Amino acid sequence: MTRERALAGAAGRRLRAPAASPWIRLRIVVAGVLLLLLLAAVTYRAYGIQVRDGERHKQRAEGQHATRIEVPAPRGVIYDRQGVELAVTADIDSIYADPSRVDDPDGTAAALSEVLAIDVDTVSERLGRDNRFAWISRHVTAQEASEVRALGLPGVALTSEPRRFYPARATTGPVLGFSNIDGEGLDGIELAMDDVLTGVRGELGALRDARGRLAISEPLAAAEPGAALTLTLDRFVQSTTHRALARAVEDHEASAGTAIVLDVETGGVLAMASYPSYDPNEPAAGLAEGARNRAITDAHEPGSILKVFLVAAALDAGAARPDTTFDLDGGRMRIGRNTVRDTYEDDELDVSGIIRRSSNVGSVKLARLLGAEGYEQALRRYGFAARTGIELPGERAGRLRPHGSWRDIEFATLAFGYGMMATPLQLTAALAAVGNEGIYNPPRIVERAVSESGDTLFEREPEGERVMDAEVANAVLPMLASVFYGGPDGGTAQRVHVDGYQAGGKTGTAVKVDHEAGGYHDDKYVASFAGLAPIDDPQLAVLVLIDEPGGDVYYGGHVAGPAFADIVSQTLRYRGVPPAEDADLQQRGAGSPQRPRAPRIPDPRPPIVVENPREQGAGAEGGRKGAGDGGWQMRRMPDLRGMGMARALERAEATCADVEVSGSGAAERQQPAAGTPIPAPTRCRIEFARRGWD
């Protein structure tokens, strides 16, 4: 028993665990607390991700796997007044790549370079970009697209994009303008009406797989095309005008030209052509040559065309009647130190004769009857020195100084079209008012805009405003017709023949201002012709302007007149206006017998000749100072050679007592010679290069 108890006690001592240490208990507690804290942190983080910030993380996840792709919207179609398409949009292939999926960048670049005729380094640079999308070539040809598809290059794909096309090409270039590759208007109607023509881009939803490949889902929003525009332009009239203008510019080796055809009743632009032009499908070459819409961007001194509006203003103010007669003294008139002269040495003309013979002296006398203030008010009323507001970019306002600042000679020159600036469109619109019984319609080129859903966004409303009495406008029409009369006493346009119709018009030939040297150029002119047809019931107002014609012929009737006749004749036939049975009578002077004659070339001498300082009311000596005049101080003759007329005269009049002038243009010779001392009042002489005036 004793032994058994001893064995049992030993076994019990072996099975009983030793007592736990206090440090062990502490470590256990700490570990448990840490586990609880970690679990709490995980729980809090999970709550933040899934509950508190769940929506944000959901959007981020969707952004990694889902995306939105913008779908370009086609621009609105542009139509002419007959519904003929002038600008359309069509889908065309473009080539892009996902650089991350291109297996062989060098080989891919070489293959694409050969097919697309793009420099291989350029293609390599695009394929080496650190993104998932890169354009390789946009708006490729059908042949190029087919060859790229056949290559089957990994990471290279094709997509459709809208592209703008202009079927009329250069015929409508500067008027319609063009848009860039992203469908943004950059010139012409495309720029001015960009907000209306631009549609609303659509969206496609897409998902990316684990490799980043796109899988397009259903559309999220359909693209909405831009609104369609209907213009007042007529493609036939535009084409006719463009051809006639181009022929005139090329035949006369001119630098540029512009032509406008307006609907007299509405002011709508039927044609607006500029030369040089550009093809809106490929505009770069034309723009490099200076092509622009010169009808609104260029302003010139109008020359003798302005006499039409002087006559209308004088008749409207009651300052003269159509039969008021003026003594012209053989076509010469002294104004201070200056003498105004005419091309034809008529002794007497009535108001109609001032238009027919383009008399400068008669215009000055008529303007004096009207008065400077009345003349300025009339010109502004007819739309000069203000933008017309036509729906085209870049329009200039022209320039007309207030009458209070006009000197006597400036008032005189303004009577025959010098001293102010006007755009071709302003001149044509003012002439249309004469043909519309005195009602001025601001010229417009947009008729209406209609959305894709058929809603009318814009439609032109009549804006006519009476600017002259109807009887006055009707009285001016036969005066314009007389410009075409033949015979020794005929008009300045007697060489111009409008086939089948009687027209009325006015010639203009002006020397261009030399803005750099001052004064005028010695060999640069603007030849123009503006008119109405048919003259008994005007429907068209037409202006043709040829800038810097070359050669010895640079007069408005010779250079611009034939283009005017061609445009009018073809347009009236196209519009269904029956030819006049007595159209040929116009060339005979309202039915008077046609006399055989050689065409008369206008005298190219200038209308202003500075001869001596006799002011109005001076005595026989003309105010000329004698040698003993104590007011004279010794001077030296300046060097005038190469100066324009205005600048040379200003310098000479400050030095000489008398200045005699011959010719026009740049000063070539002078007496006394430059540097010669002038101790007493002296007559000086300046010889200029010759220039032509209408």
Q: Where is average pLDDT lowest: 1-10, 589-598, 603-612, 630-639?
A: 589-598
What pLDDT band is residue 562 in, cutting at 50, 70 and 90? Answer: very high
Task: State the Cα–Cα distance between residues 231 and 653, nearest whole angstrom.
Answer: 54
- Structure confidence at residue 61 (pLDDT): 56
- Structure confidence at residue 35 (pLDDT): 83
CA angle 179, 180, 182 (to 5 degrees): 115
Cβ atoms within 10 Å, residue 148: 22
- Structure confidence at residue 629 (pLDDT): 36
Answer yes or no: do 521 and 566 share one domain.
Answer: yes
Residue 676: which CATH number? Answer: 3.30.10
Q: Do the beta carbons of residue 491 and residue 482 sit within 8 Å?
A: yes
Q: Where is average pLDDT lowest: 210-214, 516-520, 684-688?
A: 210-214
For residue 30, what are its two tokens? 């700490």
What is the four-CA torsion angle of 7, 10, 16, 21, rounded to 10 degrees?
180
Q: With 50 as the cut, is the pLDDT of residue 631 above it?
A: no
Domain total of the chain: 3
* Assigned domain for 599 exists: no
- Most confidently modeled range among 122-131, 455-464, 579-588, 651-660: 455-464
What pLDDT band is residue 610 in, cutting at 50, 70 and 90? Answer: very low
- Structure confidence at residue 527 (pLDDT): 94
CB-based contacts of 464, cutoff 8 Å, min separation 6: 267, 436, 439, 440, 441
* Assigned domain for 55 exists: no
Boundary residue ending a domain (580, 600, 630): 580
Q: With 60 as the cut, is the pLDDT of residue 606 above it?
A: no
**667 is in which domain, residue-wise?**
608-688
Answer yes or no: do 419 and 470 share one domain.
Answer: yes
pLDDT, average across residues 349-356: 94
* φ, ψ of residue 111 in degrees (nearest 5): -65, -45
- Structure confidence at residue 677 (pLDDT): 78
Among candidate residues 547, 540, 582, 548, the one with its CA nearest the CA of residue 564: 540
More confident call, 27 vs 558: 558
Task: State the Cα–Cα distance between residues 313 and 319, nearest whole angstrom.
Answer: 9
More confident call, 611 vs 666: 666
Q: Do the beta carbons of residue 254 and residue 547 sit within 8 Å?
A: yes
CB-based contacts of 352, cutoff 8 Å, min separation 6: 322, 478, 479, 482
What is the four-CA torsion angle of 182, 187, 188, 193, rounded to 10 degrees?
50
Q: Where is average pLDDT lowest: 19-23, 259-263, 578-582?
A: 19-23
Answer yes or no: do 473 and 339 share one domain.
Answer: yes
45 three-class SS: helix
Among candidate residues 302, 305, 235, 228, the one with its CA nearest the CA of residue 269: 235
For residue 126, what are its two tokens? 């695009």
pLDDT mean across residues, the chain: 83
Q: With 90 as the cut, is the pLDDT of residue 336 above it?
A: no
Q: With 70 as the cut, is the pLDDT of residue 591 above it?
A: no
Q: Which amino acid, residue 275?
A: Y
More confident call, 463 vs 430: 430
Cβ atoms within 10 Å, residue 471: 12
pLDDT, average across residues 154-176: 91
Using left for φ > 0, alpha for ψ between -120 and 50, and beta otherwise, residue 576 falls in: left
Q: Which amino acid, residue 202?
A: G
* Assigned domain for 259 exists: yes
Residue 486: which CATH number? Answer: 3.40.710.10
Q: Do the beta carbons of residue 199 and residue 226 sit within 8 Å?
A: yes
Q: Where is average pLDDT lowest: 64-73, 224-233, 638-647?
A: 64-73
- Structure confidence at residue 63 (pLDDT): 52
Taking each continuous run of H as one helix and of E as one strand, the counts in the chain are: 22, 27
**Tokens 């003294």 -> residue:** 329
Q: With 80 as the cut, is the pLDDT of residue 499 above it?
A: yes
pLDDT, average across residues 486-513: 89
Answer yes or no: do 211 and 121 share one domain.
Answer: yes
Q: With 50 as the cut, is the pLDDT of residue 340 above it?
A: yes
* Assigned domain for 20 exists: no
Q: Where is average pLDDT lowest: 282-291, 377-386, 510-519?
A: 510-519
β-strands 658-662, 683-688 pairing: parallel
**What one-character-per-residue DSSP string does 429-471 give?**
HHHHHHHTTTEE---B-EEEEE-TTS-EEEE-----EE-S-HH
* φ, ψ of residue 414 in degrees (nearest 5): -65, -25
What pLDDT band is residue 601 in, cutting at 50, 70 and 90? Answer: very low
Q: Where is average pLDDT lowest: 28-32, 93-97, 217-221, 402-406?
A: 217-221
213-220 contacts, C-beta under 8 A, 24 or more apart: 213/101, 214/67, 216/69, 219/71, 220/68
Answer yes or no: do 462 and 548 share one domain.
Answer: yes
Task: State the Cα–Cα distance between residues 476 and 308, nearest whole angstrom.
Answer: 8
Q: With 70 as the cut, is the pLDDT of residue 4 above it?
A: no
What's the alpha-carbon Rg for the chain, to the nearest Å? 41
Boundary residue ending a domain (188, 206, 231): 231
Task: State the Cα–Cα distance between residues 346 and 364, nearest whole angstrom.
Answer: 15
Task: State the Cα–Cα distance between residues 529 and 504, nearest whole angstrom.
Answer: 10
Number of Cα atoms under 13 Å in the Cβ half of residue 72:
18
Enclosing H/E stretch for 13: helix 2-15
Burial class (CB in 10 A: 0-12, 13-18, 19+), 424: buried
Residue 172: which CATH number? Answer: 3.90.1310.10
CA angle 501, 502, 503 (to 5 degrees): 115
Answer yes or no: do 281 and 409 share one domain.
Answer: yes
Answer yes or no: do 169 and 255 share one domain.
Answer: no
Answer yes or no: do 300 and 199 share one domain.
Answer: no
Boundary residue ending a domain (560, 580, 600): 580
Enclosing H/E stretch for 429: helix 424-435
Answer yes or no: do 417 and 435 share one domain.
Answer: yes
What is the four-CA torsion angle of 298, 302, 306, 307, rounded to 10 degrees?
-170
- Structure confidence at residue 686 (pLDDT): 82
pLDDT, average across residues 364-390: 96
Among candidate residues 262, 261, 271, 304, the one with its CA nearest the CA of residue 525: 304
* Assigned domain for 37 exists: no
Burial class (CB in 10 A: 0-12, 13-18, 19+), 692: buried
Answer yes or no: do 199 and 253 share one domain.
Answer: no
More confident call, 248 vs 216: 248
**What one-character-per-residue DSSP string does 250-266 give?**
HHTT-SEEEEEEEETTT
More confident call, 130 vs 175: 175
Over residues 223-257, the pLDDT tens digits come to 788 999 999 999 999 999 999 999 999 999 999 99
* Assigned domain for 39 exists: no
CA angle 175, 179, 184 (to 5 degrees): 125
- Structure confidence at residue 176 (pLDDT): 97
The DSSP symbol for 300 reads B
* Assigned domain for 552 exists: yes
Task: State the Cα–Cα distance between residues 548 and 528, nearest whole angstrom.
Answer: 11
* φ, ψ of residue 160 in degrees (nearest 5): -95, 140
Answer yes or no: do 532 and 667 share one domain.
Answer: no
Mapping DSSP onto H, E and C, the string for 203-238 reads: EEEEEECCCCCEEEEEEEECCECCCEEEECCCHHHH
Burial class (CB in 10 A: 0-12, 13-18, 19+), 375: buried
- Structure confidence at residue 81 (pLDDT): 97
Cβ atoms within 10 Å, residue 292: 22
Answer yes or no: do 177 and 267 share one domain.
Answer: no
- Structure confidence at residue 555 (pLDDT): 84
* Assigned domain for 476 exists: yes
Active-site positions? Answer: 304
Task: State the Cα–Cα distance between residues 551 and 601, nearest whole angstrom.
Answer: 14
More confident call, 82 vs 54: 82
- Structure confidence at residue 100 (pLDDT): 78
